[in-house]
Amino acid sequence: MRGAVRDDRGQVSIEFLGMTPLIVLTLVLMWQCVLVGYTFTLAGNAADEGVRAGTAVPRGERFGVCRQAALKDLSEAWRGGATVERCDGTGYVTAVVALKVPVLFPGSIDFPVTVRGHAGAVEEVKH
């Protein structure tokens, strides 16, 4: 009767090997979600910095100062595809910064998805 008992040693190892691709895929998707969220944070921060700098200068100089301040603190991985679409307004200055979402590793390739950060502030300089 002893030979009829089946030995199930190693079964957990086989099941784990079968689940490994699913575990790796889940981790990759979670990391990509982190990068999307971080890109949203960077875009909002860049817009805040740009509009803060833009409110302190006269209207004629605003866009250049705003753009420079918005892109100053971005790392090269996000700065490459970044655009400052708007930094204008009378009385209330607004800025829009658009960033590309990287695929898995910042600085490699980007998704064809653009994340926009919006910010606004009251003008400090009287004209």
116 exposed, middle or buried (CB, 10 Å; 0-12, 13-18, 19+)?
middle
Domain assignment present for 84: yes
**The whole model's pTM is what?**
0.77
Domain assignment present for 103: yes
50 — phi, psi (to 5°)? -65, -45
The model's pLDDT over 84-104, given as tens digits with 9 standing for 90+, comes to 887 777 778 888 899 988 888
Q: Give the structural domain span for 10.
A: 2-122
Domain assignment present for 43: yes
**pLDDT given at position 4:** 56
Cα gap 109→26, rounded to integer Å: 20
**pLDDT given at position 3:** 55
Maximum distance among all Cα pairs of the chain, rounded to whole angstroms = 99
Domain assignment present for 127: no
Torsion of CA 80, 50, 87, 116, to 10 degrees: 50
The model's pLDDT over 23-81, given as tens digits with 9 standing for 90+, comes to 999 999 999 999 889 999 999 999 988 888 888 777 777 778 888 888 888 888 878 88
**pLDDT given at position 43:** 92
Please state the domain count of the chain.
Answer: 1
Tokens 């590793």 sit on residue: 105
